[in-house]
Amino acid sequence: MALAVSARSWATSFGVQIAGFAFSPPSLTINVGDTVVWTQIDSVGHNTVSDNGLWTSPVLSPGQTFSFTFNTPGTFGYLCTIHPFMTGSVTVVGQAPNSPPTVALTSPTSGAVFDAPGSVTLSATAADSDGSVSQVEFFNGHTSVGVVSSPPYSLTLNNLVGGNYSITAVATDNQGAKTTSAAVSFQVNAPPIVALTSPTTGSIFKAPAAVTVSALASDSDGSVSQVEFFNGGVSLGVVKTPPYSLSLGPLTTGAYSITAVATDNLGGTATSVAVAIAVDIAPSVAIIAPANGAILSTPASTALVASASDSDGTVVKVEFFNGATSLGVVTNSPFQAPLANVPPGTYTLTARATDNQGLTTTSAPISISIDSPPSVTITGPANGVSLPAPASVTVVAAAADTDGSVAKVEFFNGANPIGLVTGSPYQVALNNLPAGIYSLTAKATDDQGATAVSTVVSIVVTNVPEVAAVRLSIVAPEDGSLSLAWSGGTAPYRVQKKSSLADANWLDVMTTTNQNARVPNDSVAAFFRIAGAP
């Protein structure tokens, strides 16, 4: 509080006696700030009352006193109201002392908390009993924050950073006296910061979805008391301690807007940027061709066919795979892709469907095999051989498989099976064949079930009468051939031979109408005969 000082540096007391029904002295001249003391001496009671009501004493008994200090210049008459004829006066000269102003802060209240960047209005009331208030200056600690020269004594502080503030108001009156208000303390709270770290915006989840929402939160001037997660305006849950994470689910299909609201120890809040996610029903997909376990023979060409649908949207593409290798992408139904010229091997095929939200589903895998068929040829008898009835012949086949093994070889005469062999050598004996034409084939089957059929080998079995040769002579000319001559029989003649008499069949060498023939000499023992036409 300011101290007002008069022109004189000290004050004086003056005495007036009340005696003999009079004031003595009846008049008195003093200075501003001096005090007059009335002493009652009469045996009867008296009082002293100013004419203008400035002072009024009680009725004084003998020996009692009354004092009054004069702070205002002027002449002041007085009397005893019990005995009005008793009068007196006091003349006061000099200047009256200045009373300091009064001041008090009315806003903000002590202990208030504001969020940064804070805007705080400072308000004060100020008055001066013996003059006027010329200004009110506001301070934060010892730093002036503004001056207001006329009521209302108010100013607003903007963009206050976080921290503690101690505000006072200093009122100055028209004579320069100053009074400082009691201090008011408040705090500007820096709000927390918060950001969602999971999930990321634009994420798509398969319904029913289990989703974990996570946030990072901190407070520069205090501590985080909680983080609350929201979908739009609906609270999903509150986490009071780190890590600030919450498991949601199962979530149904739809769009979600996730935010996190952090609250600090002083009640300040901050809201994260919203993260938009969607929960979608994934498409369905299955390979419908070829069948699982199918075996195709090279060169293999087929179509991969899938069925795909999406219950809450559309299928935008189906991609086919062999293992991790893409075989093709189809963007419209029917979802099928060609599979051509596939080399031998085993293939694991899948189809992956993608819907309009970007969700994918991969079909159950199917396995197919591409098999090189076996090879098979008939190596005996030779094609076109003619045998006399009843004939005995061994049909021999050569069979092989480049990517596996031969499981069996079946022999046929036309469409009629004549034997089956499951191991090498692949041959079957035919005995007592009657006359006729035989179309022989061999069908090889490999370990994957692939088959191959040999080229047809035709043999002829005939009823051939033997010509009774009158004479058969064999001469070996110098050119290395054999010269045969015979007599008897009826043309045409068939020259036949065999390498051993134990052989059941005679082989035709040539047919002629002459009774002689020249045949190659292969230097191998042979037996010849002349047979008639069949």
Indicate the class that CATH gives domain 102-189. mainly beta
Q: Has residue 509 got a pLDDT over 90?
A: no
On the 0-12 / 13-18 / 19+ scale of CB atoms within 10 A, 410 is: buried
CATH class entry, domain 13-93: mainly beta
Sorting pLDDT into bands at 50, 70 and 90, what band is 473? low
Reply yes or no on whether the pLDDT at 7 is more than 70. Answer: no
Considering the chain, what percentage of its residues have pLDDT values greater than 70?
94
pLDDT of residue 88 exceeding 50: yes
Provide the Cα torsion 155, 161, 166, 172; round to 10°: -30
Confidence class for position 515, pLDDT limits 50, 70, 90: confident
Token pair of 41, please?
């001496």
- Indicate the class that CATH gives domain 375-460: mainly beta
CATH superfamily to which 193-280 belongs: Immunoglobulins (2.60.40.10)
pTM: 0.51
Q: How many angstroms separate the CA atoms of 527 and 472, rounded?
A: 12
Q: Which of 45-59, 293-307, 346-360, 466-480 has the lowest mean pLDDT?
A: 466-480
Spell out the domain ranges in the chain. Answer: 13-93, 102-189, 193-280, 284-371, 375-460, 471-532
Tell me the backbone φ, ψ of residue 240, rounded to 5 degrees. -100, -15
Distance between CA 434 and CA 463 in Å, rounded? 8
Span of 193-202, 255-264, 367-376 with lowest mean pLDDT: 367-376
pLDDT exceeds cutoff 60 at 346: yes
The predicted pLDDT at position 3 comes to: 32
Q: Which CATH number is correct for 284-371, 2.160.10.10, 3.40.50.11540, 3.20.20.80, 2.60.40.10?
A: 2.60.40.10
CATH class of 471-532: mainly beta
Say if CB 520 and CB 526 are below 8 A apart.
no
Question: Which of 157-161, 389-393, 472-476, 483-487 has the weakest average pLDDT?
Answer: 472-476
Q: What is the pLDDT of residues 176-186, one digit of tens each?
A: 999 999 999 99
* Exposed / middle / buried, residue 121 (Cβ in 10 Å: 0-12, 13-18, 19+): exposed
pLDDT of residue 520: 82
Q: What are the tens digits of pLDDT across the range 436-459?
A: 999 999 999 998 888 999 999 999
**Cα 508 to Cα 511: distance, rounded to the nearest angstrom:** 8
Q: Do domains 102-189 and 284-371 have the same CATH topology?
A: yes
Question: Among 171-175, 438-442, 494-498, which stretch is predicted with the lowest mean pLDDT?
Answer: 494-498
Under 8 Å between Cβ of 123 and 160: no
| Rounded CA separation 261/278 (Å) | 21
Residues 458 and 437 sit within 8 Å (Cβ to Cβ): yes
Cβ atoms of 399 and 376 closer than 8 Å: yes
Cβ-count burial 311-341 (b if 16+ within 10 Å, e if not): ebbebbebbbbbeeeebeebeeeebbbebee
Backbone angle region of 384, left / alpha / beta, with phi > 0 → left and psi within -120 to 50 → alpha: left
Residue 469 confidence (pLDDT) above 50: no
Is the pLDDT at 76 greater than 80? The verdict is: yes
Q: Is 272 helix (H, G, I), strand (E, B) or coil?
A: coil
How far separated are the first and last CA of the chain, in Å rounded? 157
- β-bridge mates for residue 301, sequence order: 340
> Rounded distance, CA 251 to CA 45, Å?
99
Radius of gyration of the chain (CA): 66
pLDDT band at 523 (very low <50, low <70, confident <90, very high): low
Average pLDDT over residues 106-128: 94
pLDDT level of residue 151 (50, 70, 90 thresholds):
very high
List CB contacts of 3: < 8 A, sequence separation 6 or more: 100, 177
Q: Over the chain, what is the mean pLDDT?
A: 90
CB contact at 8 A, 401 and 446: yes
- Structure confidence at residue 464 as a pLDDT band (50, 70, 90): low
- At residue 323's C-alpha, the angle toward residues 319 and 326, to 5°, is 35
Least confident of 66-70, 285-289, 407-411, 510-514: 510-514
How many CB atoms neighbour CB 478 within 10 A? 5
pLDDT at 19: 95
pLDDT tens digits, one per residue of 388-407: 888 899 999 999 998 889 99
Whether the CB-CB separation of 190 and 161 falls below 8 Å is answered with yes
Residue 182: other Cβ atoms inside 10 A: 10
